[in-house]
Amino acid sequence: MARRYVHGYDPRENTRLQDQASTLVQLLHCDTAYAAGTTVLEAGCGVGAQTVTLARNSPDAQITSVDLSERSLAQAQAAVAAAGLTNVTFRQGDIFDLPFAPESFDHVFVCFVLEHLAEPVRALVELKKLLKVGGSMTAIEGDHGSTHFHPDSTKAHAAIRCQVELQRQAGGNANIGRELFPLLTEAGFDAVRVSPRMVYVDASRPELVEGFTRKTFTAMVDGVRAAALEAGLIDAADFDEGVRDLYRTTEPDGVFCYTFFKAVAVKNA
């Protein structure tokens, strides 16, 4: 059951996650808000990149954010404190063995977590146990296979496939977004609804050119260069040309598209 975080934990990755979260707030979180007095479990909060928005959108809900990494939890706590939010409690814990009684929460929220798990259905089943009957599960994941851009580039696609393959070797699935419906259904959830959230970027959206194409997606691909070369997945010249071609899509005539998937489901029994 591999759960190694393929992107690593260095400060550069922390910055990338924060850039991604701030750029995608409206797209991913506009329809997520929890009622006053409800209890929410954020499973796998990482460095708190999503926690701040989650807590800000539901200021009167009580949020418990958990993560396996002490280092990430410390960064998440700092981010929440810097935002002046007081409705979040942090706990260290393994998503497969969380220290909570059954039916402790009204809602569960997981974002960019299932993609790193070798057993995502088992994780969903464990989280379902912690939900009250009638409670909701929200899951958000990306899908690297949904990437399209202009000018097109075979070497850019090859560089992206390196990240997908490294994540597969680590026990994860970088294309898991398209699988949310069957995964949640297999885990026993009801009323599963999945909506695609496309990020479309061109020169008329400079904040997305910088915040998403440059600092989020291309930075992520570029970040696996050493691992991809060590694994023999690609040669250095081809990888570097692929990354240059991804940056090329940020020029005035460039276009970049990527699709996230957001699922909401209910526990009826």
| Confidence band, pLDDT 50/70/90 cuts, at residue 26 | confident
Euclidean distance between CA atoms 49 and 246, whole angstroms: 24
The model's confidence at residue 22, banded by pLDDT at 50, 70 and 90, is: low
DSSP-derived pairing of the beta strands 255-266 and 62-67: unpaired
Q: What is the pLDDT of residues 73-108, one digit of tens each?
A: 999 999 999 999 999 999 999 999 999 999 999 999
Query: For 159-213, what is each residue's pLDDT tens digit?
Result: 999 999 999 999 999 999 999 999 999 999 999 999 999 999 999 999 999 999 9
What is residue 16's predicted lDDT score, i.e. its pLDDT? 41
The pLDDT value given to residue 206: 94
- pLDDT bucket at 10, cuts 50 / 70 / 90: low
Domains annotated on the chain, with CATH:
11-266 (3.40.50.150)
- Measured torsion, CA atoms of residues 208, 211, 213, 218, in degrees rounded to the nearest 10: 180
